[in-house]
Chain A
């Protein structure tokens, strides 16, 4: 499978297509960016952007727990911790202990502090700083297989259960009167966000992953008038800025994730021109 991809991309007449790491990274970008956009559309609708940001930051705690347990590969600890956190958030929101923003802010600060304290014991934090910025060019063919599996899972869910998540995002009471089990749907959605965000953090970096999720949806909102155009425009924006950002980062020798965010931001600014038309 991969060698077909390498051959196809390698046949393109560009300098960067000669490098395997670029070809692998391109595949990862093509798989990940629409995934971010799909999640982002509902995250922005549900006004959960702060939540997905917190989940990204909590990856640090997951890594720390993994390190304490002596795991060679902290990814599992990260994902497990993030899913637990997602469920805790959902429960906290349901019982309204404090306002949702406050709960998320508190838990995020706690998770980051705990992670940093554990990881910085003996002054060893520097070796973990790659998680802050991420390195898309380090993605391997095996990683791509995992990403493809994740994308396929979310894709299937977005076909089978999108309307459920959509109605819950509009108004939970309304969804309940339509026979939707609101609380399981909320928890499932938060868990999916947690898994996708934490799995992607090592490549994209926890400082900017949320921009990759929120920006395409925010851009699409400026021009879309229906859910269909919203989701499709968000996916297109995400994919275009992903590919353009990857190539730009090669020539500029900059961090890939951050470069993608800047391209995405440019598209957002352009989309502001469409605001008045779409909101008429």
Chain B
């Protein structure tokens, strides 16, 4: 496992691949939702965006996804592929709004996204293998045959994570991906995300309300309120005056202390990571 990790880290510090947001601005009518957002994301790095409600966190993700017109530009230097390859994003929404009674299996969902062969004519053995492989990365291979509408909240988020990772994106966007999932499911989800970042050398941008989770897993923390007000390690951002004002001094201090003392949260353990990484 250690060798694999060391090998996977080949470009974490080389600066070769990264995604740059340059001077991003979004306005709808006269309302300014985002202003002068500058952010560089390197591969193998998990960046967490925190901020008060209405700070523009989800707007920023949707801008990167190309759903919202914006000023400024998004530059991307990819790995492995040639320079003008478009940015490939994977996205796990906060809650997938879909028809839960639809007769759609997990296999169907993947085949529809991965293959040109119409899903109603069946799914080829090759695609089925690919789906099983993708699901096994998030310890969900047993779910391939299930109707999507019958999955639990945590299972659905893992399936969506597997889908977002197939094919491997340059940038993985997670929008508060575990709201409505039980604590054990949240733990499992973030342990997986954390392991995946290293395994695939992904840039991950995560929007979270949960400062404790953010501090525990982030390599870097960004405090956003229309524009970026703090951008540093979790410990430093949590010491920032504006952050303390927004979230409360004692709360920030407790979380910062937890994060600094080596992930000392009593709930934190790594049992799931084994099955994910190896």
* Chain A positions near chain B (C-beta within 8 angstroms): 41, 45, 47, 158-159, 162-163, 166-167, 170-171, 173-174, 176-178, 220-221, 224-232, 278-280
**A-B Cβ contacts below 8 A, count:** 88
- Give Cα distance in the complex from A221 to B101, angstroms: 8
Shortest C-beta distance, A35 to chain B (Å), equals: 14
Shortest C-beta distance, B239 to chain A (Å), equals: 35
- Give Cα distance in the complex from A44 to B91, angstroms: 26
B67 touches A171 (CB 8 A): no
Residues of A within 8 Å of B97, CB to CB, are: 171
Shortest C-beta distance, B117 to chain A (Å), equals: 8
Q: Tell me if B104 counts as interface (CB < 8 A to partner A).
A: yes
**Minimum CB distance partner of B113 in chain A:** A178
Partner of A163, one of B66, B118, B122: B118
A166 touches B119 (CB 8 A): yes
* Chain B positions near chain A (C-beta within 8 angstroms): 65-67, 89-91, 93, 96-99, 101-105, 107-109, 111-113, 115-123, 147, 150, 164
A176 touches B119 (CB 8 A): no
Residues of B within 8 Å of A167, CB to CB, are: 112-113
Residues of B within 8 Å of A229, CB to CB, are: 103
Q: A170-B104, A177-B65 known; A47 and B99 CB under 8 Å?
A: yes
- Give Cα distance in the complex from A229 to B123, angstroms: 12
Residues of A within 8 Å of B102, CB to CB, are: 45, 170, 221
Residues of A within 8 Å of B113, CB to CB, are: 163, 167, 178
Residues of A within 8 Å of B65, CB to CB, are: 173, 176-177
B147 touches A162 (CB 8 A): no
Partner of B119, one of A220, A227, A278: A227
A163 touches B93 (CB 8 A): no
Shortest C-beta distance, B210 to chain A (Å), equals: 22
Shortest C-beta distance, B57 to chain A (Å), equals: 16
A279 touches B105 (CB 8 A): no
Shortest C-beta distance, B235 to chain A (Å), equals: 33
A170 touches B109 (CB 8 A): yes
Residues of A within 8 Å of B119, CB to CB, are: 162-163, 166, 227-228
Shortest C-beta distance, A173 to chain B (Å), equals: 6
22 contacts between A and B (CB under 8 A): A41-B120, A45-B104, A158-B120, A163-B115, A166-B112, A170-B98, A170-B99, A170-B104, A171-B98, A173-B65, A173-B67, A174-B96, A176-B66, A221-B101, A227-B103, A227-B105, A227-B120, A228-B120, A231-B120, A278-B103, A279-B147, A279-B150
A163 touches B112 (CB 8 A): yes
Partner of A177, one of B91, B108, B112: B91
B107 touches A226 (CB 8 A): yes
Residues of B within 8 Å of A41, CB to CB, are: 120
Residues of A within 8 Å of B115, CB to CB, are: 163
Partner of B91, one of A159, A173, A278: A173
